[in-house]
Structure 1
Amino acid sequence: MSVELRHLHAFLAIAEEGSITRAAARLHTGQPALSRTLAQLEAHLGLRLVDRSTHHLELTPAGRVFHDRAALAVDAVRTALDPAGLGSWPLRLGHPWAALGADTVPLLRRWDELHPAVPLELRRIDDSTAGLTRGLVDAALLRGEVGAPGVETELLLYEDRVAVLPADSPLAAREVLAAAELAECRLAVNTVSGTSSPALWPPQARPRGTLEVANTDEWLTAIAAGRAVGVSTVATPSIHSHPAIVYRPLTGLPPVPVYFARRRGPGHPALPALLSLAREVTAHHARTTP
């Protein structure tokens, strides 16, 4: 049996819906037919992709790996068959929350000047790889260590950290803060794409608690409401301003590496040019740990 696009669509729908019944309704097919399609795909691969033994359907470890590959394949076919893209091939650059900070606009302007025939689309995606492993973007700007399989990275720069405070916090009156001064505060932690957690502090001097959020908007709102303080990098203030939030330089914590990330293997032909330009516009930053 040869695998067809319908097998990938079926598997992705099952994975995303968490239910064969809901996936069948989404695909406008019957549950038995969808189950057979999944069984055919698993037989072809010789692997179990979906664990049906629990009340809530879950992907097996092999299924999670295959999910990313299937998403990439479907996205590649969709892009290739999109008539709107035949005149030009957009280059999609993802980021989870701060792109290149103050260097973002210079990057976009310089790209438009140098490569007017290749649209550069900047996409914010709340995901640990900004959609890279799901095939939603061609490259991504990522902070912190990147351990996703099949992804290669190049260090662009290091960024110092900042404290992110409610504007009415007593600490907001300070010009510079030390990490130890946040030990009595509750820390807002972005569990999806953040780079800061209590583990950055010594065990005996960690923030007194955490408030977990799933994206940048929730993180900003929690801090603005006075429910927690945050720690980010110097890129954030230029991208995310808020009348109820102030940013202050923070000492005592290590800087954050910023990487240009792409999937291994063939990709958009303009990726080398984008990497070169990203190096150029960030050249004034340190590329080694301060």
Structure 2
Amino acid sequence: MSTGQDTGHGAGRGVEVRHLRAFLAVADEGSVTRAAARLRLTQPVVSRTLAALERHLGIRLVDRSTHHLALTPQGVDFRDRAAAAVAAFDEALDPGRRRHRPLRVGHAWSAFGPYTTPLLRTWQRLHPDTPLELLRIDDRTAGLARGEVDAALLRGPVDTPGLVAEILFTEDRVAAVTTDGPLAARSSLPLSDLTRGAVVLNTVSGTTTPDLWPPHARPVATLTVANTDDWLTAIAAGRGSGVSGASTAAMHTHPGVTYLPLDDAPPLPVLLARRDGPGHRALPDLVDLARDIVAGAREGLRTDPGAPPPPGARG
């Protein structure tokens, strides 16, 4: 393998480290232009290098048909192998220096709920050489299925092929209602009280669907939005009510939205998901730490019965 700069020639010589670096930069940045700036190359050079890699492999790694560049399923599978190959190459050349790319963890909203700050602080203390980047991505798998992150903190069932997930804890569901509306004065609500008006549904990254209600008692109307910000705005404007996890109430306050406990809604599972296969070398450490933090919180409640539990969290 060679680490020389790509001049746009010699694509038939086989795959070199520069091809893998170019692909990984494009995958990380989601843009050929930004990848070129990161690599200090021109955009045409990066495009030719990526195309040469695809020709050599005989597969399409990047979907160029959308406004937002995304990895193909083959690109997602290849990304981890490419990252491992580059890391092994770098380590072989410089074994005395630990070189780690950031561990990227996606979330669509509310991250790890009440455990978010403990996770970030403890990780920084235990793994200072491997930055943990927490990224909000408005997507049902928070960018995991598209290869934008190494792992994702998700809520609700995960049935995307190629992903595996572990439930870390569950949290209560809450109703989100307009602060100056008639429901805001209540201490709690049944799900049926929300069906008398419109229910705002985040159909891109949310978990609430009409199936949360029995078939004979579903909302009379729904309003669909694409992210948590638009969801909050619609509820504050009086266009409907919503349902979410208790972490949303703690991490997404809004002066026009009041959160209330729901009497009869099932709890919402919070999961750590990853791709099924080799991944970032620090993923096992992340899984272990997430488990330990949740278990530690549960143990703290057992040893100190008077301690207040994290909002809506159930270990």
TM band (smaller chain): 0.7 to 0.9
Aligned to 1:274: 289
AA in 2 matched with 1:159: E
Contact 2:202 2:228 (8 Å CA) reproduced:
yes
Secondary structure of residue in 2 paired with 1:107: helix
Contact 1:158 1:257 (8 Å CA) reproduced:
yes
Secondary structure of residue in 1 paired with 2:206: coil
Secondary structure of residue in 2 paired with 1:270: helix
Fraction of identical pairs, as percent: 43
Secondary structure of residue in 2 paired with 1:177: coil
Give the stretch that moved more between structures: 96-105 or 133-142.
133-142
Aligned to 1:158: 170
The alpha-carbon distance between structure 1 residues 135 and 42, as it changes in their structure 2 partners (threshold 3 A), is closer
AA in 1 matched with 2:265: L
Q: TM-score, normalised by structure 1?
A: 0.72
Cα separation, 2, equivalents of 1:80 and 1:91: 19
Aligned to 1:65: 73
1:107-256 to structure 2, matched below 5 A, reads 107-113=119-125, 115=126, 117-118=128-129, 121-126=132-137, 127-256=139-268
Aligned length: 266
Cα separation, 1, equivalents of 2:141 and 2:15: 28
What does the per-residue CA deviation read over 1:118-141, in whole Å, with 9 as the maximum and x for residues that have no partner?
455352322222233344333321
Shift of 1:171: 0.6
Q: Structure 1: 5+ residue runs without aligned partners?
A: 18-26
The alpha-carbon distance between structure 1 residues 280 and 246, as it changes in their structure 2 partners (threshold 3 A), is same
Secondary structure of residue in 2 paired with 1:196: coil
Secondary structure of residue in 1 paired with 2:121: helix
Cα separation, 1, equivalents of 2:62 and 2:122: 46
Which of 278, 283, 292 aligns to 1:265? It is: 278
Secondary structure of residue in 1 paired with 2:196: coil
Contact 1:178 1:251 (8 Å CA) reproduced:
yes
The alpha-carbon distance between structure 1 residues 281 and 133, as it changes in their structure 2 partners (threshold 3 A), is farther
Secondary structure of residue in 1 paired with 2:77: helix
Cα separation, 2, equivalents of 1:282 and 1:130: 26
Cα separation, 2, equivalents of 1:50 and 1:108: 31
Q: TM-score, normalised by structure 2?
A: 0.67
Q: Structure 2: 5+ residue runs without aligned partners?
A: 1-11, 32-41, 91-96, 302-312
Which of 117, 126, 133 aligns to 1:105? It is: 117
Secondary structure of residue in 2 paired with 1:129: coil
Shift of 1:279: 3.5
Backbone CA RMSD of aligned residues: 4.1
Secondary structure of residue in 2 paired with 1:111: helix
Shift of 1:8: 9.8
What does the per-residue CA deviation read over 1:73-111, in whole Å, with 9 as the maximum and x for residues that have no partner?
666659987xxx956654333221011222222333343
